[in-house]
Amino acid sequence: MTKTRKSIPQKTKALLQQEINSQCPICDDSNVDHFEIHHIDENPENNASENLLMICPICHSKITKGDISEEEVRQIKNYLTLKAKGKANAKSSNTINIKGNVANSTVANSISAQTIVYKSRSKPKMEFADGAIGKKAELKNYIKHLIDRYNEYKEGDVGKSKMNYAAIWGIIKKEFKASAYQIPETQFESLCLFLQKRIDNTKQGRINKGKGHKNYSGFDDIYG
Ligand SMILES: [Zn+2]
């Protein structure tokens, strides 16, 4: 089942940017040129404006990883929609909680001059299935190590402005039919090989290999 990613019209993009007042609604980042558009229901075909939220790439990757839940994203979208309709007054005393490990962030309410505070908790609450990679810290950390290395080298290939840090999480999900940390421990080795191959295939990865340098530490080097 392949889903086509339809391009989003410029007009919609402009409205989405206006909706967030050119600031990431989660972390306040204002480097809007790099912002990405998130499909709230994860269906890339659904370009209805109520399904779209413009956010910074870092927060986008947190959503893709599950550090920020779909429910939380919907709360933010609802808030922005209400605000745009001028009905935010009634809601402005509510606090929207974001579980993700995001910096304290505020969204100014231009109507009531009140502020909604996104409370962050230091540790996101993540539920992993029994036997999932996420249940074991050393497995999870090693996967994180490979993903970080991949993103570091990939960024070198495509350039910071074109880099999509969330993409790798989507690629893993597509290949393994589960989010990285929800993949069963029995597939840990396949996931490692999958990521290691991708790292080795980046420009930096090939250069290092050619010089006989390691592109990443082995699992046993760290935990063995
Ligand atoms: Zn952000």
Residue 183 near residue 116 (C-beta atoms within 8 A): no
| Domain end marker among 42, 68, 94 | 68
Q: Are residues 132 and 217 both part of a single domain?
A: yes
The count of other CB atoms within 10 Å of the CB of residue 68 is: 24
- The alpha carbon of 102 and the centre of ligand 1 are apart by a number of angstroms equal to 8
Predicted TM-score (pTM) of the model is: 0.49
- Cα(26) to ligand 1 centroid in Å equals 5
111 is a domain residue: no
Can you tell me which residue has the tokens 């991708």? 198
Q: Residue 215 has what pLDDT?
A: 94
pLDDT of 123 reads 42
Question: Quick one: pLDDT at residue 20?
Answer: 93
Structural domains counted in the chain? 2
Are residue 51 and residue 136 in the same domain, yes or no? Answer: no
Which of these three, 68, 89, 108, is where a domain ends?
68
What pLDDT is attached to residue 18? Answer: 93
pLDDT at 68: 87
Answer yes or no: do 143 and 60 share one domain: no
- pLDDT score recorded for residue 104: 37
User: Could you tell me if 133 and 219 lie in one domain?
Assistant: yes
Give per-10-residue mean pLDDT for the chain (224 aa).
73 94 89 92 91 95 89 88 68 45 37 39 61 92 93 90 83 90 95 96 94 92 81
Distance 24 CA to ligand 1 centre (A): 5
Q: Is residue 22 part of a domain?
A: yes
Question: Which residues have CB less than 5 Å away from ligand 1 (the ion)?
Answer: 24, 26-27, 29, 56, 59
Question: Is 2 within a domain?
Answer: no
51 belongs to a structural domain: yes
Please count the other Cβ atoms lying within 10 Å of the Cβ belonging to residue 169.
Answer: 21
Q: In this predicted structure, what is the pLDDT of residue 47?
A: 93
The pLDDT assigned to 116 comes to 43
* Domain boundary, last residue among 30, 51, 68: 68
Shared domain check, 136 and 57: no
* Helix or strand (DSSP H, E) at 97: strand 96-98
- Residue 39: which domain range? 10-68
- Distance from Cα 34 to the centre of ligand 1, integer Å: 11
